[in-house]
Amino acid sequence: MTGTPPSVLPGTSGRRWQLVDMLRGVAVLLVLFRHHEAGGVLHHYGWMGVDLFFVLSGFLVSGLIFDEYRRTSDFRGVHFLIRRGFKIYPSFYALIAVTAVLLALTGRTDPIMNYVAEVFFFQNYHDGLWVHTWSLGIEEHFYFLLVIVASTLIARKVRFGLRTMIITCIVLFVFFLGLRMATCIAEPFDVRTHFYPSHLRMDSLLSGVLLAALHRYRPERFQRIFRNNRGAMFASMFLLLLPMLTNDFGSFAMVTFGLTGVYLAGAIAVGLAVTSVPLNASHPLQRWCVRPIAWVGGISYTTYLWHLFVLLVVEMGSVRIGMKGTLIEFILFVLLSILVGFLASVFIERPFLQLRSRWFPTRSRVIEG
pLDDT per position as a tens digit, 40-72: 999 999 999 999 999 999 999 999 999 999 888
3-state secondary structure string across 198-226:
HHHCHHHHHHHHHHHHHHHHCHHHHHHHH
CA dist., res. 139 & res. 192, Å (int): 16
Does 334 have pLDDT greater than 80? Answer: yes
Q: What pTM was estimated for this model as a whole?
A: 0.93
The chain-wide mean pLDDT, for the chain, equals: 92
Least confident of 139-148, 152-161, 309-318, 346-355: 152-161
Neighbours of 229 (CB within 10 A): 13
Q: Is residue 22 assigned to a domain?
A: yes
Q: Is residue 197 assigned to a domain?
A: yes
- DSSP assignment, residue 299? T
State how many domains the chain has.
1
Q: What separation in angstroms does the CA of 29 have from each of 38, 105, 279, 362?
A: 13, 31, 22, 30
Q: Is residue 306 assigned to a domain?
A: yes
Q: Is residue 90 assigned to a domain?
A: yes
Identify which has the larger pLDDT, 335 or 366: 335
Q: Is residue 364 assigned to a domain?
A: no
pLDDT tens profile 225-242: 999 999 999 999 999 999
Confidence bin at 363 (pLDDT 50/70/90): low
Least confident of 2-11, 60-69, 296-305, 336-345: 2-11
Does 34 have pLDDT greater than 90? Answer: yes
Residue 214, domain extent? 6-359
